[in-house]
Amino acid sequence: MQKKKLEVHLSWSGGKDALMALDYFKKSEAYLVVGLHTTIDSATNRVGLHGVHQSLIQEQANQLGLPIDFIPIPFDNSYQTYEEKMVEYYCQLASRGIAYIASGDIFLADLKAYKVNLLSSCKLFGLFPLWGQNTKSLLEKFHEMGNQTIICAADANFFNSSAIGQPLDQDHILENQSIDPCGEYGEFHTFVNVSNHFKSPVEISCKGVVSKVYKYNKTEENGDVVELKSKFWFADLVLK
């Protein structure tokens, strides 16, 4: 008698790492992804640092044949607000009988620990199928599988605006030693538009590129707090 698979809910950004995590579970004999969830800015209906509109994420879910939940988060720069909304949602999943929440994190240990701590509030378990893998190999595997992705957002320190809204150039990424191949440090973010897991490609176009400057504080070794700025590019992607 075949053993019943354990039901998993997958954190879905719309990018390549989330797609690779889904691919892992599609091939797993132990787990079954039963749904996706995505946090969005409640004011813009866009995905956090990806800047992708909710409608595009919904179309990906349609092509995957999976239900998706959108979690609106007020953009007030408050960790407390974010945590309250996420714990509320996680507890809803727990009440639906879901015990496992998956994410495409690769090697940021502090972020993984933060997520596991939030999940523990609702007695849920975190699954990280890409954890510890070589990011260069992951990127190569992503393309070898026939997937295609667009750069939807990027740090202006690493990319010119001309690269935004364009297909990810694997060769350029792998040649640049200052960029992690999967953008694990936030150098860039992606939107998958072609995958063998989709019923058909997600047809999109880029209306333009916008920039945004983020301000944040950093504490120096001597205890001084300095204000830093980072400029990011965002592609205004729309469905055709």
Q: Is residue 52 part of a domain?
A: yes
Residues 119, 182: one domain?
Answer: no
Q: Is residue 139 part of a domain?
A: no
Domain residues for the domain of 87 are 6-127
Q: Is residue 51 part of a domain?
A: yes
Q: Is residue 208 part of a domain?
A: yes
Instruction: Quote the crossing angle between the two packed helices 16-26 and 135-144, to the nearest 10°.
Output: 70
Distance CA 1, CA 10 (A): 27
What is residue 18's three-state secondary structure?
helix
Where is the domain boundary, 94, 127, 160? 127
Residues 95, 161: one domain?
Answer: no
pLDDT value of residue 185: 94
Residues 155, 112: one domain?
Answer: no
Give yes or no for residue 3 having a pLDDT over 80: no
What pLDDT, in 10s, does the model give residues 37-80? 999 999 999 998 899 999 999 999 999 999 999 999 997 767 88
Q: Is residue 1 part of a domain?
A: no
Residues 160, 116: one domain?
Answer: no
Residues 80, 153: one domain?
Answer: no
Q: Is the dihedral of CA 216, 152, 178, 104 positive or negative?
A: positive
Residue 59: CATH number of its domain: 3.40.50.10770
What pLDDT, in 10s, does the model give residues 129-169? 999 999 999 999 999 999 999 999 999 999 999 999 999 99
Closest CA to 133 of 124, 125, 142: 142
Where is the domain boundary, 75, 99, 127? 127
Distance CA 194, CA 150 (A): 10
Give yes or no for residue 187 having a pLDDT over 70: yes
Residues 111, 162: one domain?
Answer: no
For the ranges 22-31, 63-72, 190-199, 221-230, the lowest mean pLDDT is seen at 221-230
Residue 187: CATH number of its domain: 3.90.1490
For the ranges 48-52, 74-78, 171-175, 236-240, the lowest mean pLDDT is seen at 74-78
Give yes or no for residue 1 having a pLDDT over 60: no
Q: Is residue 141 part of a domain?
A: no
Residues 88, 119: one domain?
Answer: yes
Region class of 223: left (phi > 0), else alpha (psi between -120 and 50), else beta: left
pLDDT value of residue 79: 83
Residues 155, 114: one domain?
Answer: no
214 or 73: whose pLDDT is higher? Answer: 73
Q: Is residue 142 part of a domain?
A: no
Residues 117, 151: one domain?
Answer: no
Residues 122, 170: one domain?
Answer: no
Q: Which helix (H) or strand (E) holds 97?
A: none
Residues 63, 171: one domain?
Answer: no
Distance CA 147, CA 134 (A): 18
Distance CA 231, CA 213 (A): 4
For the ranges 129-143, 194-208, 224-238, the lowest mean pLDDT is seen at 224-238
Give yes or no for residue 20 having a pLDDT over 70: yes
Cα separation of the two ends of the chain: 46
What pLDDT, in 10s, does the model give residues 86-114? 999 999 999 999 999 999 999 999 999 99
Distances (CA, A) of 227 to 219, 230, 231: 9, 10, 14
Region class of 118: left (phi > 0), else alpha (psi between -120 and 50), else beta: alpha
Q: Is residue 21 part of a domain?
A: yes
How many domains, the chain? 2
Q: How confident is the model at residue 116 (pLDDT cuts 50, 70, 90)?
A: very high
Where is the domain boundary, 127, 161, 188? 127
